[in-house]
Structure 1
Amino acid sequence: MRDYFINTTRIGFSSWSDADLNLASQLWGENEVTRYICSTGKFTHEDIVNRLNTEIHNYELYHVQYWPIFELSTEELIGCCGIRPYKSETHSYELGFHLREKYWGQGYASEAAKAAIDYSFHILKAKKLYAGHHPQNRASEKLLLKLGFQFTGREFYTPTGLYHPSYELVNR
């Protein structure tokens, strides 16, 4: 049984640890999950280990990460959703989410993103959230707009080598 620090109707948010390589592999080992995250579209075992270590490191330094999220009824890994520091701005974060394919189209991304936004604005007192997506990922574009993010332009994203549409959401 994992400890959850955020609960929604269907989702529990936990934290990544060194013991979670198997879970990280379930998520980032799925080609449909990673096809928009990196230039090759696939994570190697080393990429998965590095990604897990990055999330753990972000938590150690900033107390935030793209947290692993679990279906409360089954305790099965849905994916991850959370925030990371955005550039050098104080109290500004980047929102992100990666869901295992079997959870697509069921409202989990929206439910998790709303919880992460609420946590960012009310608990962390974030002033702004930023987000971006691969130019071909229309589902992420649609969700970000539905969540109230405003398009700000395109930013070069080194892992894909492409300019990604970028958005911001201001805490009012």
Structure 2
Amino acid sequence: MNIKLETERLILREILLSDAEEMFKLDSNPNVNTYLGNNPVKTIDESLTLINNLQNQYKKNGIGRFAVVLKETNEFIGWSGIKFLTEPENNHVNVYEIGYRLQEEYWGKGYGSEAAQAWLDYGFSEMKIEKMYASVHKENTASKRILEKIGMQITSEFLWNGIPCYWLEMENNLV
């Protein structure tokens, strides 16, 4: 794949096997997992398996979750991107979902909004996606705020693996 996006402060690029250590740091943090069912990874092998799965999604679906890297320092700070949902979520399947996850020390600095906006723009203008979806734990007010900031609107509530979530949607006005 040759997708690489840049924003004012970020580079959004494919996640590589060499990112395993940083992915492990991200996904082993219990605070990062608070609204995700709180199942932090325990070994770097789990992170390597996740990276392999992400790379398979790139090949199969032409899109997926990408590394979020600070331009200034070339630091991996998390991931963001568009995932093609092939398993049902809130009675939706074969749709595109926007998502992100950042290392805790980068929360509240606008990086999540910046990355999400870049992917929303890419999905609508380059991929011509008709409708973008997202889900967020009902108590994750910071993530909900990001999604609403980029223009997504809550359309329903549902349970994901027993977790109460909001379902958000946004129509593409460009198509």
Q: Fold match, TM over 0.5?
A: yes
RMSD: 1.8
SS of the residue aligned with 1:152? strand
Q: Conserved in 2, the CA contact under 8 Å of 1:34 and 1:43?
A: no
Q: Which residue among 30, 35, 38 is the counterpart of 1:40?
A: 38
Separation in 1 of the partners of 2:131 and 2:144?
A: 18
Q: Which moved more, 1:117-126 or 1:22-31?
A: 22-31
Taking the TM superposition and a 5 Å limit, the aligned residue runs for 1:116-127 are 116-127=119-130
Quote how far apart the aligned CAs of 1:40 are: 3.3
Residue 94 (structure 2) pairs with residue 96 (structure 1): no
Query: How many pairs does the alignment contain?
Result: 165
Residue 87 (structure 2) pairs with residue 84 (structure 1): no
Segments of 4+ moved more than 4 angstroms: none
Quote how far apart the aligned CAs of 1:109 are: 0.6
Taking a change above 3 Å as real, the CA distance of residues 40 and 5 of structure 1, as seen in their structure-2 partners, is closer
Matched-pair identity in %: 29
One-letter amino acid of the counterpart of residue 166, structure 1: W
Separation in 2 of the partners of 1:50 and 1:156?
A: 26
Q: Which residue among 127, 132, 135 is the counterpart of 2:135?
A: 132
Taking the TM superposition and a 5 Å limit, the aligned residue runs for 1:22-41 are 22-37=21-36, 39-41=37-39
Deviations 1:71-115 (A, max 9, x none): 0000001211101113534xx310000011111111111111110
Taking a change above 3 Å as real, the CA distance of residues 48 and 36 of structure 1, as seen in their structure-2 partners, is farther
One-letter amino acid of the counterpart of residue 75, structure 1: N
Q: Conserved in 1, the CA contact under 8 Å of 2:17 and 2:48?
A: no
Q: TM-score, normalised by structure 1?
A: 0.87
Q: Give 1:169's aligned residue.
A: 170
- Structure 2: 5+ residue runs without aligned partners? 87-92
Taking a change above 3 Å as real, the CA distance of residues 17 and 103 of structure 1, as seen in their structure-2 partners, is same
Separation in 2 of the partners of 1:4 and 1:94?
A: 17
Q: Which moved more, 1:114-123 or 1:20-29?
A: 20-29
- Structure 1: 5+ residue runs without aligned partners? none
Residue 150 (structure 2) pairs with residue 147 (structure 1): yes
Quote how far apart the aligned CAs of 1:134 are: 1.3
Q: Which moved more, 1:148-157 or 1:70-79?
A: 148-157
